[in-house]
Chains A and B, each alone.
Chain A
Amino acid sequence: MITIVDYGMGNLGSIQNMFKRIGLASLVTGEPAKVAEARKILLPGVGAFDNAMQRIEASGLRGILDRKALVERVPVLGICLGMQLLTRSSEEGVLPGLGWIAAATRRLPAREGLKVPHMGWNAVDQVRSDALTRDLPGEPRFYFVHSYCVSVDDPADSLLRTTYGITFDAAIRRGNIFGAQFHPEKSHRFGMQLLANFGRL
């Protein structure tokens, strides 16, 4: 069972649809008591960084999530803004992030001819092999929509990288903490493979 944390931001329907298609049980919930029982957590997110952090704090989920991630060490996958929340800070806001992985979130630089947000399908380069990114179909590509991007402090925590003006981390992992900047639930069989891999961890 994968617990999809509902703190009021994110495309939860699509994520659940894809888990259903893969044949993995999932539960969408924002109830602290239910999140406390989670064995695997998916942290979605679309929207602004500070707004998301405020909602997580206000919903009473912060302490429980910290315990799940740092003490019980259940696998956690942050998607899109959910991945940025795993970092210590973001140039989008002033509030600190969850800080579960040594990384920071920066604004995608404006470059001539490149529109921000970075929106659309982009290719990814595999930095190292990992259970999360195992058996991706050839020439893997994913659907991205974001204006901020993550850089991990330790290059060993990077799984996939993508280039859009600059090169940034598209998927990351440190121990039980995973992140994907793209939307696997909107990325055809590429995303399906990644979510299935997370389900099998």
Chain B
Amino acid sequence: MLRTRIIPTLLLRNESLIKTVRFGKFSYVGDPANTVRIFNELEVDELLFLDVTATVEGRKPNLKVLAEIADECFMPLGYGGGIRSFEDAQIILKLGFEKVVVNTRALEEPSFITRLSEHFGSQAIIVSIDVKRGLFWGDQVRSRAGGKNARRSPVEWAREVERLGAGEILLTSIDREGTWEGFDLDLVRSVSEAVRIPVIANGGAGKVEHIGQAVKEGCASAVALGSMVVFQRKGMGVLVNFPEESELRRILA
């Protein structure tokens, strides 16, 4: 049977691993290479890396850090952050990552998704959709690490990226990110039901029960974990960890 993918999603700020709360309030977690070594030993399903300040700081992906990660990891790897050109994507895939994650660039120029997908295959292209709940307009998609309102509805944009050739969607609730309060299940369900490609639920996981909810109630194909896998508990120190296999089996059964 196919396992539900549980994906530690690690945030980079150039050479450091960090963690955020609602896309702000940065705290330092550690060194990426050391951390991935632990996840490698824990035999996690897959890893995603997002350099959350690359776009806003006008940086290119840090290829040195990514090469170190790829050398250490024997699991599927994805990277996002500052991918602006075809060549950016190509070099990352060549390092040994199999998926690239695009967000801001795709919103500016949706045909970028198609260009990448036609060349590398849709399985290599994840479109990241960051969503913030608006006071009057409902859920709205944001680009530039949450900084810019793209004035699109998540469901409508999700359908469009699927049509343009995206292989997966990383769906993040900005309001839940880093809060440990659980996923925005309404958001996860509305997007999962709108598309046929896999949707990775992100933002809010604080305990294993949340994983079960995202899959069973939210109909997510995969689940991303952030704070939960780098901190001991909410408000506590850094501890790289991953839920026990038996616990995951119980939750997903």
Contact = CB atoms under 8 A, between A and B. Distances in A.
Interface of A: 11-14, 17-18, 21, 46-48, 115, 117-123, 141, 143, 145, 163-164, 183, 185-189, 191-192
16 contacts: A11-B93, A13-B94, A14-B70, A14-B96, A17-B74, A18-B74, A46-B98, A46-B120, A46-B124, A117-B123, A120-B4, A143-B75, A163-B1, A183-B98, A188-B40, A188-B75
B247 interface: no
Contacts of A183: 76, 98
B3 A141 contact: yes
Given A46-B121, A123-B1, A13 B95 contact: yes
B2 A121 contact: yes
Given A11-B98, A115-B196, A186 B74 contact: yes
Interface of B: 1-5, 40, 43, 45-46, 70-71, 74-76, 93-96, 98, 120-121, 123-124, 167, 196-198, 221-222
A164 B196 CA distance: 17
Contacts of A122: 1-3
B75 A119 contact: no
Contacts of A13: 70, 94-96
B43 A188 contact: yes
A145 to B, nearest CB: 5
A121 B252 CA distance: 15
Contacts of A141: 3
A120 B121 contact: no
B129 to A, nearest CB: 18
B3 A121 contact: yes
Contacts of B70: 13-14, 17
Given A21-B74, A47-B121, A120 B1 contact: no
Contacts of B120: 46-47
B95 A187 contact: no
A120 to B, nearest CB: 5
A14 B2 CA distance: 23
A164 B221 CA distance: 15
Contacts of A14: 70, 74, 96, 98
Contacts of A143: 46, 75-76
A186 B70 CA distance: 10
